[in-house]
Amino acid sequence: MSDLGTTSHSATDRLTRNGRQFGYLVAVAVNAALFYIVSHVTEWGWPSFLTKDFDRVDQLILISIGATIIANLAYAAYDELVFKSFAEATLNVISLVATIRVYQVFPFDFTGSQFDWTWVARLGLILVLVATTVSFLTQVIRAIRELLRTA
C-alpha cells in the first residue's frame, strides 16, 4: 500500500518538475523575443514616444534580459530552491540597475499626446523599483531560510 503512495507521489513530483521545466523554456523563448525587440526597436522607430536616448539604456536592458535567459536555462537543468532564490536575487539586482538607469535617462517623450504620460511613466518606473526591491529581499530571505532549514 505504501509503495503505491510513493509511486504516485514521485509521479506527481516528476509531472510538477516537468511542468516547471516547460515553463522555464517558455520563459527563455519569450525573453529571446524581447531581446530581439529591444535590440531593434530604435531602428523600427516604434513606439513614437521612445527617443534616441533609448540607445543609452538598451545595453543594460539587454544584459538584464540575457541574464534572465541564462537563469531560466539553468533552472531547467537545476531546479533547487536555494539556487533559484539566489539567482532570482541576482536578477533583481541587475533589473534594479537597469531600471534606475532608465529612470535617470528617461528615454520617453510624450509631448505629442493629449495627456501628459510623463508622470505615469515615472510612477511606473518607481513602482517597478519598489517591487523589484521587495522581490530581492524576499528571495534572499527565502534562500537563507531554506539553507537554515536544511543545515
Distance of CA 73 to the CA centre of its chain: 13
Is residue 34 pLDDT above 80, yes or no? yes
- Mean pLDDT over 65-80 rounds to 96
pLDDT digits (tens, 9 = 90+) for 127-142: 999 999 999 999 999 9
Is residue 46 pLDDT above 90, yes or no? no
Q: Is 6 left (phi over 0), alpha (psi -120 to 50) or beta?
A: alpha
Beta bridge partners of 108: 50
Residue 55: DSSP 8-state? G
Taking all residues of the chain, what is their mean pLDDT, rounded to a whole number?
A: 91
Lookup: cell for 78 = 537545476
Beta carbons within 10 angstroms of residue 102's beta carbon: 22
pLDDT of residue 4: 43
pLDDT of residue 23: 96
- Whole-model pTM: value is 0.86
